[in-house]
Amino acid sequence: MQPQPSRRRISPRRLAALASVTVLTLAVSTSAGNGRLSPDASTAGAGPAALSRSSAHGPCMITADREVQMSEGIPTAPGYTRSTGTVRALTLMIDFSDAPGEGDALDRYREFFPETREWFATSSYGRLDYRPELPVPDWLRMPKSFRAYGIERGAPFDPGYRDLVRDIVAEADPEVDFQSYDLLNVLVTPNAGPAALDTVLSVTFAGNKEAPNADGVPVSNASFVYSRQDDGSGSYDRTGYRVLPHENGHVFGLPDLYTAEGGGAVGHWDIMSEDWGANNDFLAWHKWKLGWLDASQVGCAANPGTREYVLTPLARAGGPKLVFVPLNGHSGYAVELRTRAGNDEAVCRPGVLVYRVDADVDTGMGPITVYDARRDSGGCTRSPNVHAELSDATFAPGESFVDRRAGIRVAVIAAGAEEYRIRVTRTARN
């Protein structure tokens, strides 16, 4: 362990992770309304419909055996925002009498765009056309003071956020037709609340069918961004927007991968784990879940025996990206190839990443665990806010991941610039 100075200051947020779990409400019904802030079956490609799979993928479509708020299971439960095609993100900048917006509201907007739109275009290989829309280009003043809403980390939807959403809707309604948007981004003036180094207030209410209505549709998928995630390392201008793709990951149904202990389960291999510091991509599992991989790009190693697979770099469009080795109906191992490209700017040891996915484990409780090919090595990065120990977690040619109890071996047998070859061996158990 080689803790970096700036990480320590961020840890309070991680300790508060359990509290944040409670604010994510259950994804439930599909029939919540006709509008788009709350997806319904009539929306083309909505939610699970975007998932590409064949009958051979059946054993790899793990699902939760018990009730969890947000699951890694495939397909994603209904109620979240569609993650393919054109998605219109209603983006509002709000301020308060006790925290008046400083300067131009558009400057707040420019902290996140066009970077967030580009981040999704890159990560999705162009399958998500994320369009931020700004029908109100000024600060939208809330009728109550910031204090009066009682917003703090881990605050539940009721009563503070319900009041805030109701007031946002009332103030914006003359200029906004809420029915024409797929999700809501609320960019709060950065001087409201504590600095992000002290407490990260940013939060998303996803699949929330109890949300107040706007133009006849519930505002069920909304991300709130507070303060600035500036770690003082000098990279803020390039990387400070990354809290928004993380929060929007929740509106698409993705759980938090950091836990009460911090980012040690997944490190910097997914933006749902680490959204401070250098840019990083989503795991291939998330890309399949979001409808960004075709069935032909996902191998399902469910049968006993030995089989070889090709993997191409996750950051590059086209080619096979993911092999899943199911353990049972709710968990399994995912295997992918990570290189320094696209959104992955901090990869210091390209190679094959192996991680366990468990659909039964809830958001913030460690639903995904990356296996470290080099335990206690200290990692290969000194980049600020990149979890160092797991930065060299990848497996290289000649190395193998082995789960003896389950009779599973994943061997990296060859590596080239364009592709790696792996061999998956499953021993039949009796």
Question: Which CB atom, from 255 or from 299, has the smaller least distance to Zn ion?
Answer: 255
- Closer to Zn ion by CB, 256 or 270: give it: 256
Question: How far apart, in whole angstroms, are the C-alpha atoms of residue 426 and residue 207?
Answer: 38
Q: Closer CB to Zn ion, residue 15 or residue 170?
A: 15
Residues sharing a CB contact under 8 Å with residue 376, sequence separation 6 or more, in sequence order: 389
Query: What interhelical angle do 243-251 and 115-123 show, nearest 10?
Result: 60
Cis upstream peptide for 159 (omega within 30°)? yes
Q: How far is the CB of 324 from Zn ion (least distance, A)?
A: 24
- Tell me, rounded to whole angstroms, the distance of Cα 115 from its chain centroid: 16
Query: Could you tell me the smallest distance in angstroms from the CB atom of residue 286 to Zn ion?
Result: 13
CB of 242: closest distance to Zn ion in angstroms? Answer: 12
Nearer to Zn ion, 153 or 374 (CB): 153
Q: To the nearest whole angstrom, how small is the minimum distance from the Cβ of residue 30 to Zn ion?
A: 23
Place of tokens 């009498």: 97
Strand 183-188 to 85-95 pairing: parallel
CB of 274 to Zn ion, least distance (A): 11
Least distance in angstroms from the C-beta of 225 to Zn ion: 11
Q: How many CA atoms lie within 13 A of 267 on its CB side?
A: 26
Q: Is the Cβ of residue 101 or residue 249 nearer to Zn ion in the bound state? A: 249
- Extended beta strands in 172-291, E state: 183-188, 203-205, 213-214, 217-218, 222-225
213: helix, strand or coil: strand
Distance between CA atoms of residues 362 and 414, nearest Å: 36
Side-chain-side CA neighbours of residue 117 (13 Å) = 16
Ranked by CB distance to Zn ion, the top (closest) residue is 256
187 near 112, Cβ under 8 Å? yes
Q: Residues in the site for Zn ion, rule: CB under 5 A?
A: 256
CB of 110 to Zn ion, least distance (A): 23
Residue 204 C-beta: closest distance to Zn ion, Å: 7
Confirm if 37 and 220 have CB atoms less than 8 A apart: yes
Min dist CB 250 to Zn ion, Å, is: 6
Nearer to Zn ion, 274 or 360 (CB): 274
Number of Cα atoms under 13 Å in the Cβ half of residue 400: 12
230 or 275: CB nearest Zn ion? 275
Identify which of residues 231 and 256 has a Cβ nearer to Zn ion in the complex: 256
Torsion over CA: 45, 47, 52, 54 (sign) = negative
- Determine contact, residues 310/380, Cβ cutoff 8 Å: no
DSSP run (H or E) holding 121: helix 115-123
180 or 199: CB nearest Zn ion: 199
Residue 18 pairs in a beta bridge with none
Strand partners for 387: none
Nearer to Zn ion, 115 or 256 (CB): 256
**Closest separation in Å from C-beta 429 to Zn ion:** 37
74 within 8 A of 253, measured Cβ to Cβ: no
